[in-house]
Amino acid sequence: MKPKSNIVNLPVYQPGKPIEEVKRELGLDEVIKLASNENPYGCSPHAKEAIIAELSNLSVYPDGSSAELTSELAAHLGVQKEGIIFGCGSDEVIALITRAFLVPGDETVMADQTFSVYKSNADIEGAISIEVPLKDGVHDLDAMLAAVNDKTKIVWICNPNNPTGTFVPQDELVAFLDAVSSDVMVVLDEAYYEFVTDASYPQSISLMDRYHNLVILRTFSKIYGLASLRIGYGIGQPQVITLINQVREPFNTSRSAQAAAKAALKDQAFVQECSRLNAEGVHYLQGEFERLGLNYFPSQGNFVMVDVRTSGKDVFQQLLNQGIIVRPGFARYPNYIRVSVGTPEQNQAFITVLTQVLGEIKSPV
């Protein structure tokens, strides 16, 4: 069978290596995974209780419209329930947006080092991705605006950006939205929204009444700790969300995911505590990188991207050999690794091993 020509050379997404695989391959008993920006504190106890309660309903299809969760999230965010769509992670919402709005020959603008799923889904639809270089690790909105033309359908802004952790502040985002055509959709991916502590970070939902071309993505995978249940969402004008819903598969989120998300949403004390602990972890890691003389991108996410001054893939492998999993392999930043913020004990263990690995590279036997 012959596949579509535009997907023949499409790279397969490479997630962080699973703990079980590393233990098996290297014969290790203890492994610390700091590769996938997961919440090291798990999820709310109330979410666990909700999942257990759903076990008796495994034979029953979920509500395809996620009606109860939609109503509760709409109230929490202060938006219309008709302006929300749920997906199997925000990744699926990205795929649905490209399916609904891109056709072969359309153009879409994004940063040159950002979440890879934007480009891969545009490629699947036969669209052309215009990748604009980051400026000091941050989206260069002026250059992105200059790249917009009559063929541009979507602009993607990952904020905070994955993998650099940098962000576009409110004033710069508003200036961009004022300048870009209202016919161009601007997708603002805020997967790490709840971790942000900088006061200049955009309050994006308040912008939606003014900019009808704005679509916001968020998720329950990160700070809410429900990554394995795969549930994320998009927020936009109801007429836009209706179009995206028209290409959504039925039953795309599970009963367990919906129930856990409802319970997690109500436990904002858990969210706030995880945000506080994460900020402490970011501060610790960045301080240690400074002590080691390593450059890094100041992060507003739950990860930090650091320049190890040698092949990031080599450092990754040496850390892996000692049971620490991080993320290497960034095309524009080959000497960088991205490390997720763990517990204090995990962060300290990572720094100890990193210090040892860099010392061995600097002074080989």
Task: Tell me if 243 is assigned to some domain.
Answer: yes
Report the alpha-carbon distance of residue 109 to residue 118 in Å, rounded.
Answer: 9
Same domain, 68 and 212: yes
Residue after which a domain boundary falls, among 216, 242, 266: 266
Measured in residues, the chain has a length of 365
Same domain, 63 and 143: yes
Among candidates 205, 194, 192, which has minimal Cα distance to 163? 192
Residue 286 domain boundaries: 16-42+269-360
**Given CA atoms 36, 42, 43, 47 in this order, what sign does their dihedral have?**
positive
Per DSSP, the three-state class of 354 is helix
Alpha-helix residue ranges (DSSP H) falling in 148-267: 170-179, 238-245, 255-266
Q: Identify the pLDDT of residue 365.
A: 45
User: Could you read off the pLDDT of 180-219 as tens digits, one per residue?
Assistant: 999 999 999 999 999 999 999 999 999 999 999 999 999 9
Q: Identify the pLDDT of residue 19.
A: 78
Same domain, 52 and 144: yes
Task: Tell me if 4 is assigned to some domain.
Answer: no
Between helix 268-291 and helix 344-362 the angle, nearest 10°, is 20
Q: Identify the pLDDT of residue 92.
A: 98
CB 156 within 8 Å of CB 130: no
Report the CATH number that the domain containing residue 211 is assigned in CATH: 3.40.640.10
What is the rounded (10 degree) CA torsion for 147, 4, 96, 166? -40
Q: Identify the pLDDT of residue 14.
A: 56
Structure tokens at 259: 């129930």
Phi-psi region of 248 (alpha: psi -120 to 50; beta: other; left: phi over 0): beta
Task: Tell me if 29 is assigned to some domain.
Answer: yes
Q: Identify the pLDDT of residue 87.
A: 98
CB 105 within 8 Å of CB 129: no
Same domain, 96 and 213: yes
Same domain, 261 and 285: no
Same domain, 305 and 196: no
CB 34 within 8 Å of CB 340: yes
Per DSSP, the three-state class of 305 is strand
Segments of the chain with pLDDT less than 70: 1-17, 26, 362-365
Report the alpha-carbon distance of residue 283 to residue 33 in Å, rounded.
Answer: 19
Residue after which a domain boundary falls, among 216, 237, 266: 266
Structural element, H or E, at residue 70: helix 67-77
Residue after which a domain boundary falls, among 242, 266, 290: 266
Q: If you search the block for the tokens 């666990």, which residue do you land on?
A: 48
Q: Identify the pLDDT of residue 9.
A: 60
265: Cβ–Cβ under 8 A, 6 or more apart, which residues? 69, 72, 73, 76, 224
Report the alpha-carbon distance of residue 108 to residue 127 in Å, rounded.
Answer: 7
Q: State pTM to two decimals.
A: 0.93
260: Cβ–Cβ under 8 A, 6 or more apart, which residues? 43, 47, 48, 50, 51, 220, 226, 229, 231
Q: Identify the pLDDT of residue 364.
A: 53
Report the CATH number that the domain containing residue 283 is assigned in CATH: 3.90.1150.10
Indicate the number of domains in the chain.
2
Q: Identify the pLDDT of residue 326.
A: 97
User: Could you read off the pLDDT of 300-321 as tens digits, one per residue?
Assistant: 999 999 999 999 999 999 999 9
